Amino acid sequence: MTDAAMIWNLLAALIIGLGYLAAFVFVGGLLLRIALYIKTPVPLKIVQTPGPKSAPGVLARIAGDVLIFPNLFQADKLLWLGAWIFHACLFLILVRHTRYFLYPVPELVIDWQTISVYAGFFFPIPALYLFWRRLASSRVLYISGLPDYITLILLTAIASTGMLVHYFARVYLVDVKAFTLGLVTFAPVPPPQHPIFIAHFLLVCALLIWFPFSKLMHAGGIFFSPTRNQIDNVLYPRYVNKWNEEVRVD
């Protein structure tokens, strides 16, 4: 083996290792965090009223929160628009990417291919808006911290490298699929020898590792917000707090 080939093999092994590590941290971290939320009691009925009076109503409220951000709409129309487009693009991009991990590729993913690609192109616009907003509004600037900027930069960098490999510095699709399917079937093969693709992949790894430890957890936490996921039935039945007994009052 030549030196170059040896170095490449080593690099490939590292990249593959990092991919697994990222997946492990992401899944493990997410599950641990969610397990923690589930385990932590909700001592009192703190539903935001007026709220849904029944369980299906609660499901509708949560579905609404996840899909159309009604509270944000009330708060700030422009932010709502920016944030909604941002998330819609992300969603379409995610859906499209399942084609690299599923075989055969689901029908829906194929149908959505065109619009999903557009979403990828479009994504930097809402991302830039959100970034610009952090700097332009004195109130948002005041609350913004480094992680807020890093998260936006990371996502934009992922989307841009993705678009580069898709259009401009094309990577051979068969190689990509071999690599990704290799990863999910635990029979890894080296990634395509394409620096932008490798950058894209590594950035995604960084995002996955960052996810459970950061505000990105809002994607999971939104389902566990007691003001939004409780039934507005303050009178009946009796709501029980597990640790109420421990609090002595005599």
Partner 1 sequence: MPEKFADFPATALAWRKTNGGIAIPVPEMDEGIAAAMVCHPSKAKDMKPIALPTERVPQWQARAVEKLRELLTKYRGLSVYLDICAQCGACSDKCQFYLGTGDPNNMPVARANLLRKVYRYYFKRAERFLGGDAEPFNEQVLKEWYTYFYQCSECRRCSVFCPYGIDTAEITMAAREIMAAIGVATKYVTEVVAKVYERGNNLGIPAPAWIDNCQFLEEELKTETGKDIRMPVDEVGADVLLVMPSADNFANTDTMMAYGKLFYALGMSWTTSTYCNEGGNFGLFLNYQNMKKVNKRILDAARDLKVKRVIWGECGHAWRAAIYTNTLNGPMDFLDPPHPVHICQFTADLIKRGAFKIDKSANDDLLITYHDPCNAARAGSLLEEPRAMIRATCNKFVEMPRNTIREKTFCCGAGGGLLTDEIMPIRMAGGKPRAEACRSTGANYLAVPCAICKAQLPELMKHWKVDVKVGGVHDLLSRAMIL
Q: Does 202 bind partner 1 (CB under 8 A)?
A: no
Residue range at the interface with partner 1 (CB under 8 A); choices 8-16, 64-72, 108-116, 195-203: 64-72
Q: Does 195 bind partner 1 (CB under 8 A)?
A: no
Q: Does 79 bind partner 1 (CB under 8 A)?
A: yes
CB 8, min distance to partner 1, A: 31
For 178-215, b where at least 16 C-beta lie within 10 A, e where not — what string? bbbbbbeeeebebbbebebbbbbbbbbbbbbbbbbeee
Distance separating alpha carbons of residues 62 and 71, to the nearest angstrom: 11
Q: Does 54 bind partner 1 (CB under 8 A)?
A: no
Q: Which of 30, 117, 140, 196 binds partner 1 (CB under 8 A)?
A: 140
Cβ 233 vs Cβ 53: under 8 Å: yes
Q: Which of 139, 174, 186, 187 binds partner 1 (CB under 8 A)?
A: 139
Position 157, amino acid: A
Q: Does 57 bind partner 1 (CB under 8 A)?
A: no
Residue range at the interface with partner 1 (CB under 8 A); choices 69-77, 94-102, 111-119, 183-191: 69-77
Say which residues have a Cβ less than 8 Å from residue 58's Cβ, sequence separation at least 6: 51, 52, 229, 230, 231
Q: Which of 42, 164, 181, 196 binds partner 1 (CB under 8 A)?
A: 42
Cβ 46 vs Cβ 226: under 8 Å: yes
CB 211, min distance to partner 1, A: 10
Distance separating alpha carbons of residues 208 and 103, to the nearest angstrom: 23
